[in-house]
Chains A and B, each alone.
Chain A
Amino acid sequence: MKSLAIVNSSAPFSSINDRESLDMLLANASYDRPVGLFFAGDGLYQILKSTDAQLTGHKDISKSYGLLELYDIEQIYLCQQSMNERGLTAEHFLIDGQMLSQKQWFDTLSQFDQVLNF
């Protein structure tokens, strides 16, 4: 079974990329497929603690991130440079992820057989 990386780089609420990416992730994990979850750029805003989806008319999917543990999704990676550019630190996020330098990011990503970008 080929491993799959899912890379989220779009901001939440302007589209439903976050929701459809999460659906894709959980579907793959439910088949016990090895999956990695990557956040870079404005995609990091998807996992902010302090957002209120209701104000935007969007469904609140933040609780769904609690499912990651249930689905044994442990490979979660955050782009350090994107965090720095946005003034974000690990404590801003709903979930724990490993912070990667640019080189580590590409090294880690290249270990996966397939990649989907959202």
Chain B
Amino acid sequence: MTLKYVLVVNSDVNSQGAYSAYLFARALLKQGHQLTQVFFYQQGTANTNALYCPASDETNVVALWQGLAENFAVDLVSCVAASLRRGIVDEQLAKEQQLASDNLAPHFRLGGLGEFVQASADADKLIQF
């Protein structure tokens, strides 16, 4: 039986929670389940930062998420309010807020909590990391 999943990532990019979320997402997609949305909230928004640049021998979780989006067309949505609080903006927001630059990584998009509500209210499983 295939199930419809939504994941919410509250964990910082350098915490085990973020990497576990990625592994979980990849495993369920490989098993043929549906992943409607990965929603990044709170410290989880750090997973979407294009300026994230760990040492070359460290795991780059941002790049892993991007790879997942390329291979499985996963909708990677980051909470717009939580992102703004933590200094992550897309091009349009940077203009609106008159910020020097934007830094939302490719394959991620900003969205409101309402998008998460709609996706999760319809999901068989909601898993928080």
A residues with a Cβ closer than 8 A to B are: 1-2, 4, 16-17, 20, 23-24, 27-28, 30-31, 33, 113-118
Where the two chains meet, the residues of B that have a C-beta atom closer than 8 Å to any C-beta of A are: 8, 10, 41-42, 81-82, 85, 112-114, 116-118, 120-123, 125-126, 128
Total A-B contacts with CB atoms under 8 angstroms apart: 48
In the complex, the answer to whether B114 meets A2 with C-beta atoms within 8 Å is no
Residue of B nearest to A17 (CB): B42
Which residues of chain B come closer than 8 Å to A113, judged between CB atoms? 126
Known: A27-B113, A27-B117. A116 touches B126 (CB 8 A): yes
With the chains together, A116 CA to B122 CA distance in Å? 15
Nearest A residue to B42 by beta-carbon distance?
Answer: A20
Main secondary structure of the interface of B (DSSP, over half): helix
8 pairs across A/B with beta carbons < 8 Å?
A2-B126, A4-B121, A4-B126, A23-B81, A27-B114, A28-B121, A114-B123, A114-B125
Cα–Cα distance between A5 and B116 once the two chains are bound (Å)? 15
A114 to B127, CA, bound (A): 8
Shortest beta-carbon distance from B72 to chain A in Å? 23
A23 cross-chain contacts in B, Cβ below 8 A: 81, 113
In Å, the complex CA distance between A20 and B128 comes to 15
Whether B82 and A31, one on each chain, are in contact in the complex, defined by CB atoms closer than 8 angstroms, is no
Q: Would B82 and A33 count as touching, CB distance under 8 A?
A: no
Q: Is the CB of A33 within 8 A of B121?
A: yes
CB distance from B109 to the nearest CB of A (A): 18
- What's the Cα separation between A97 and B118 when bound, in Å? 27
Contacts of B116 in A (CB 8 A): 27
Residues of B within 8 A of A118 (CB): 10
Which residues on the A side are within 8 Å of B125 (C-beta)?
Answer: 114
Chain A residues with CB under 8 Å of B8's CB are 116
CB distance from A16 to the nearest CB of B (A): 8
